[in-house]
């Protein structure tokens, strides 16, 4: 098995991150590595915060929440034309700003409903308890039916007991 240099790995990861029209499976096959290995390399480079030169159209995936929020704040008072200019300067698309805004709004609405979260937790606990009880009853039923079947088979083999 051959070892690839760090620079070769970085180049492959960069190709994978820029998604130049190929899937990860195709890219891995092209470089004669497994898809899992490529996925692990990508995860490693993201965790190590190694900055890879990515084209502006692809870099939105790597923006932190703070950066996204700053872009939203900067464009909040702009009209459509100014937003278009701003997006071109920063390598963004206007639909991304709309998606980010919706995502931030959804996060805030989730934070405001702790009662729903506690209710969900109690329902999950009750569901877990009911599943355990059902499992216990199923095993008791299976045991009872097995004993009944054994009793009938014993009666067929040795005949009815005179005590009955």
Q: Taking the C-alpha atoms of 17, 20, 24 and 25 in order, what is their torsion angle to the nearest 10 degrees?
A: -170
> First and final CA of the chain: distance in angstroms?
76
Which residues constitute the domain of residue 17? 6-47
162: which 2 tokens? 């005179």
Q: Is residue 130 a part of any domain in this protein?
A: no
28-86 tens-digit pLDDT: 888 788 889 888 888 887 776 554 444 444 444 567 788 888 889 999 898 988 888 88
Closest CA to 9 of 34, 36, 42, 35: 42
Per-residue H/E/C for 29-76 = HHCCCCHHHHHHHHHHHHHCCCCCCCCCCCHHHHCCHHHHHHHHHHHC
Q: Is residue 53 a part of any domain in this protein?
A: no
Separation CA 77–CA 39 (nearest Å) = 40
Integer CA distances (angstroms), 72 to 82, 100, 106, 113, 153, in order = 13, 8, 15, 24, 76
Tally the domains of the chain: 2
Report which of residues 112 and 46 the model is more confident about.
Answer: 46
Residue 1 has pLDDT above 60, yes or no: no
Do 32 and 75 reside in the same domain of the chain? no
pTM: 0.35
Do 42 and 66 reside in the same domain of the chain? no
pLDDT of residue 55: 44
Do 42 and 63 reside in the same domain of the chain? no
Do 86 and 65 reside in the same domain of the chain? yes
Do 68 and 97 reside in the same domain of the chain? yes
Separation CA 38–CA 15 (nearest Å) = 11
Helix (H) or strand (E) holding 126: helix 114-158
**Three-state DSSP class for residue 93:** coil
């Amino acid at each position: 098995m051959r070892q690839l240099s760090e620079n070769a790995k970085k180049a492959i990861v960069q190709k994978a991150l820029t998604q130049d029209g190929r899937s990860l499976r195709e890219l891995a096959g092209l470089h004669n590595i497994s898809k899992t290995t490529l996925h692990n390399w990508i995860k490693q480079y993201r965790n190590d915060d190694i900055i890879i030169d990515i084209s502006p159209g692809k870099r939105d995936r790597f923006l932190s929440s703070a950066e996204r929020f700053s872009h939203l704040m900067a464009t909040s008072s702009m009209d459509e034309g100014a937003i278009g200019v701003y997006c071109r300067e920063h390598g963004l698309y206007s639909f991304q700003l709309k998606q980010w805004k919706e995502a931030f709004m959804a996060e805030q609405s989730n934070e405001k409903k702790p009662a729903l979260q506690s209710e969900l937790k109690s329902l999950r606990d009750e569901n877990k308890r009911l599943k355990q009880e059902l499992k216990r009853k199923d095993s008791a039923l299976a045991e009872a039916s097995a004993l009944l079947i054994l009793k009938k088979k014993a009666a067929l083999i040795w005949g009815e007991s005179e005590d009955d």
